[in-house]
Every structure is written in C-alpha cells, then in structure tokens.
C-alpha cells in the first residue's frame, strides 16, 4: 500500500483527509507542525506528502525545501492562499500540485491519485542513452552528468525523460502537459516553463556543444543534441 503523510495543523481538516485517504486504501500518517513533519518524513519515507503552507514554527515552504534537499517524493501543497503568484511560487519551489482551501476531500483523493500515477509512470523506452557527458537511464529513471547523479523532483524528471526519449523533436506546451502532467491536469501551461527553468538550472554544467533544451518562442521546446 502507498503511504501518505498529511502535514496540517487544523485537526478537523487532517482527520477528514485521513479518513478519505484510508477509505481509498492508503496508509496515512499525520503531523501537525514542521518539526514533527520532518521526523515522520524521515521515518516513514512516504509515497506522497500533503503539506499545508501555514504551519506553527516552520512554514510549509521551509518544509518543502527541506524535503527537496533529500528526496524527489511528490508533494501537494494545501493552502488558503489562492492567488496565482502563490501557486506559481509553490510550483517553482518543486511542489507537484497545489490545492486551495476550502476543498472537497474527494477532489483531494483524486489529485493524490493523479500525482502518484504521473510520478510512477514507466516510460516505454528501455535502456540508456548518452548525450555527450549526460547519461539518461530510462529503466532506472536516473540522469547523471559527468558521472554525478542529478536530483530532480518527480515531475521535472518525467519531463526530462520524455524529451530525451525523442531528441531533436519539438513539443508544444499542450503536448507536454498531455504526456507528462496528464489529461486531468487543470493548471496553467506556465508550469511547463517553470519546470524547464528548473531543469536547465540543474543541467547548467552540461556543455552547450553537446546539447541543450531549446525554446522555440510561441511554439514549444526541443531537447537538442549535437554530434
């Protein structure tokens, strides 16, 4: 069974989410502040974290950063802050989804299933490809540069693997959303741009003479590789 860590300081909300997720046959643990969240995250290694932004002590943003330092575990942010800038900030920091309060518990369960499904997708390509000093292992879902494994959040990794499957082929944002985020994704296609920015930052030491992710303004993106 997949395990979910709920980090939410409002007991009533946490109880409702726990009940619905257990009904959906997930194993659930609860944490009510930042310190407890990090302790339980380390102890249980959850399949996914539901993380409230407004917490006593450390904020949800701080917890998200700590998680991203050590893990690619999917994280869905829960918050009463519905402004688009807050959503973009969360996605830019590595969150996999963003749910605004008040929400329907059935919707949260559906979003959890969707994120887990995307993060667990196995690409059809089997084996390893080398793009100069960049090594992409599609079976192990790992990427190394100059022999050092790179750390991506699950969605960014899925996006890079998808692009690397078909080098030198351009994809529109809509095509990337459909293939990586999934047909049920309801957010902005701005998420693609943010993910590409994060990937480029991690690949900054990949020599441009070997390859790059190139932007085609108004059209899309291409994983370009050079002989």
* 173 and 207 both lie in a single domain: yes
- pLDDT at residue 218, as a whole number: 85
Tally of domains within the chain:
2
For residues 32-56, one letter each, b for 16 or more C-beta atoms within 10 angstroms of the residue's C-beta and e for the rest, the string is: bebebbbebbeeeebbbbbbbbebe
Q: Which of 53, 88, 119 is the last residue of a domain?
A: 119
Quick one: angle between helices 60-70 and 84-92, nearest 10? Answer: 20
Give the residue numbers spanning the domain of 146. Answer: 128-225
* 143 and 68 both lie in a single domain: no
* 114 and 133 both lie in a single domain: no
Q: Which of 119, 153, 188 is the last residue of a domain?
A: 119
Neighbours of 171 (CB within 10 A): 22
For residues 132-146, one letter each, b for 16 or more C-beta atoms within 10 angstroms of the residue's C-beta and e for the rest, the string is: eebbbebeebbbebe
**What is residue 78's three-state secondary structure?**
strand
* 110 and 153 both lie in a single domain: no
CB 154 within 8 A of CB 96: yes
CA dihedral for 160, 161, 162, 168, sign (positive or negative): positive
Mean pLDDT by 10 residues, the chain (227 residues): 92 95 95 92 91 87 84 83 61 76 90 79 62 88 91 89 90 88 72 93 93 91 86
């Amino acid at each position: 069974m997949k395990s979910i860590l709920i980090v939410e300081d409002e007991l009533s909300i946490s109880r409702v989410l726990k009940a619905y997720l257990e009904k959906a046959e997930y194993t659930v643990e609860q944490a009510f502040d930042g310190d407890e969240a990090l302790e339980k995250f380390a102890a249980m290694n959850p399949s996914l974290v539901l993380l409230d932004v407004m917490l006593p002590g450390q904020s949800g943003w701080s917890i998200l950063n700590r998680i991203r330092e050590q893990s690619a575990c999917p994280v869905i942010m829960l918050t009463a802050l519905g402004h688009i800038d807050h959503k973009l900030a969360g996605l830019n920091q590595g969150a996999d989804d963003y749910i605004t309060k008040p929400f329907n518990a059935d919707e949260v369960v559906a979003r959890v299933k969707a994120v887990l499904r995307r993060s667990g997708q196995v690409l059809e390509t089997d084996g390893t490809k080398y793009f100069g000093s960049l090594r992409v292992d599609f079976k192990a879902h790992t990427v190394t540069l100059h022999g050092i494994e790179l750390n991506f959040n699950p969605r960014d990794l899925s996006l890079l693997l998808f692009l690397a499957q078909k080098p030198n082929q351009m994809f529109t944002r809509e095509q990337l959303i459909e293939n990586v985020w999934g047909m049920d994704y309801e957010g902005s296609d701005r998420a693609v741009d943010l993910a590409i920015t994060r990937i480029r930052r991690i690949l900054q030491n990949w020599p441009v003479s070997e390859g790059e992710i190139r932007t085609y303004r108004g059209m899309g993106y291409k994983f370009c590789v050079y002989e």
